Amino acid sequence: MQALWLEDNQTSLRDTPQPQRSNEALIKILKAGICSTDLELVKGYYPYTGILGHEFVGEVVEADNVSWVGQRVVGEINVSCHQCEQCLNGRPTHCENRNVLGIINRHGTFAEYTTLPIANLHQVPASVSDEKAVLTEPLAAALEIQQQVKFQPTDRVLLIGAGRLGQLIAQTLALTGCDLRVVARHKRQQELLQSRGIKIISEQDVQPWRWDIVVEATGGPGGFSLAKQAIRPRGTLVLKSTYNGGMNVNFSSIVVDEINIVGSRCGPFEPALRLMESNQVDPSVLIDAEYPLSDALKAFEHAGQNGVLKVLIES
């Protein structure tokens, strides 16, 4: 089959064997999305060799449980051992032996086929289009913030960053009724937010030491610095991004101000699917372009341009 391969920070299209894993479903990829993590992997964020990609919607073509065959599915990206201390204590996404679709020791979804355990799969409701379903994984990641932090209507919430993930965080946080403001630099980002009635704020207008909850979604030192300035004493700072490399952080002020820091990663798929089914959230508005798998290299080039949101690859 054809696949997009990463090796030594270089991507190439190559023919690879169709994947086969015992006790896993074989899935025909319909669409797959390029995210910031994929782009950072190419730059050397993590030493990975293999097929890239982890956001997808597909159709099960083979499975031990034949009732899954023909089902349109999305899949959780962490494959856990269910035997280590983290798994046994209810933290399977932090499994000590996990492999991660297209990121750690498991080929990904920029290919014609992939495999995953049935336990990782979720059926896509008929009313949810492929263009929406392909973005279930990042939408679930956005929802993870609400699994970790309780939002009240009286909370002043600042979201820094309105890119691929930031847009979905904004859509989901707006549903909580909190007093939300979003720092969005690009005109299109601002227009997407305003079309949903979400209020934007310039960096210059962010009051220091005033915000109850700050979500940092830029993954850069500038965004983190602004977040640290904005958060009030005993406030909650949520770090929601892929950070490449180290940052210089003055932890003394974090200790003095008693800031709660929450790292946030993968999230719940079923609530994400329900939000799309009920049209409360629409991730498809982020799609800028779609390329066939044969043009995957062009797709990556497009996705890496400033201001571009989601680029899809169709198998």
| Residue range(s) defining the domain that contains residue 216 | 140-263
| Whether residues 227 and 113 fall in one domain | no
User: For residue 305, is it within any domain?
Assistant: yes
User: For residue 241, is it within any domain?
Assistant: yes
Distinct helix (H) and strand (E) counts, the chain: 10, 17
Please report the pLDDT score of residue 244 as a whole number. 66
| Whether residues 304 and 220 fall in one domain | no
User: For residue 304, is it within any domain?
Assistant: yes
Please report the pLDDT score of residue 46 as a whole number. 84
Copy the structure tokens of residue 231.
């958060």
Q: Beta strand 25-34 with 78-79: parallel, antiparallel or unpaired? A: unpaired
Q: What is the CATH number of the domain that holds 144?
A: 3.40.50.720
| Whether residues 148 and 111 fall in one domain | no
User: For residue 272, is it within any domain?
Assistant: no
The count of other CB atoms within 10 Å of the CB of residue 129 is: 14
Half-sphere exposure of 140 (CA within 13 A, CB side): 21
User: For residue 185, is it within any domain?
Assistant: yes
- Report the number of distinct structural domains present in the chain: 2
| Whether residues 103 and 154 fall in one domain | no
Concatenated DSSP letters for 109-154? SSBSEEEE-GGGEEEPPTTS-HHHHTTHHHHHHHHHHHHHS---TT
Q: Please, are residues 34 and 303 in contact by the beta-carbon 8 Å criterion?
A: yes
| Whether residues 257 and 291 fall in one domain | no
Please report the pLDDT score of residue 245 as a whole number. 66
User: For residue 134, is it within any domain?
Assistant: no
Q: Cα angle at 216 between 121 and 219, to 5 degrees?
A: 80
The CB-based long-range contact list for 245-254 (8 Å cut-off, 24+ gap) reads 247/221, 248/221, 249/224, 253/228, 254/228
User: For residue 274, is it within any domain?
Assistant: no
Beta strands in the chain (DSSP E): 2-7, 10-15, 25-34, 50-51, 55-62, 72-75, 78-79, 99-100, 113-116, 121-123, 156-160, 179-183, 211-216, 231-239, 260-263, 287-292, 310-314
Please report the pLDDT score of residue 224 as a whole number. 93
Mention every residue, 6+ apart, whose C-beta is less than 8 A from residue 137.
54, 55, 56, 74, 76, 77, 266, 269
Q: Please, are residues 313 and 58 in contact by the beta-carbon 8 Å criterion?
A: no
| Whether residues 250 and 303 fall in one domain | no
Mean pLDDT per 10-residue segment, the chain (315 residues): 96 96 96 95 91 98 97 98 97 96 97 98 98 98 98 98 96 98 96 97 97 95 94 97 75 94 96 98 97 98 95 96
Give the integer Cα–Cα distance in Å for 97 and 105: 10
Q: Beta strand 179-183 with 156-160: parallel, antiparallel or unpaired? A: parallel
DSSP annotation of 200 reads B
Please report the pLDDT score of residue 133 as a whole number. 98
State pTM to two decimals. 0.96
| Whether residues 258 and 159 fall in one domain | yes
| Whether residues 84 and 153 fall in one domain | no
Please report the pLDDT score of residue 285 as a whole number. 96
Q: Following CA atoms 201, 204, 208, 212 in sequence, which dihedral angle do they give, to the nearest 10 degrees?
A: 10
Q: What is the CATH number of the domain that holds 37?
A: 3.90.180.10
Please report the pLDDT score of residue 241 as a whole number. 82
| Whether residues 16 and 89 fall in one domain | yes
User: For residue 133, is it within any domain?
Assistant: no
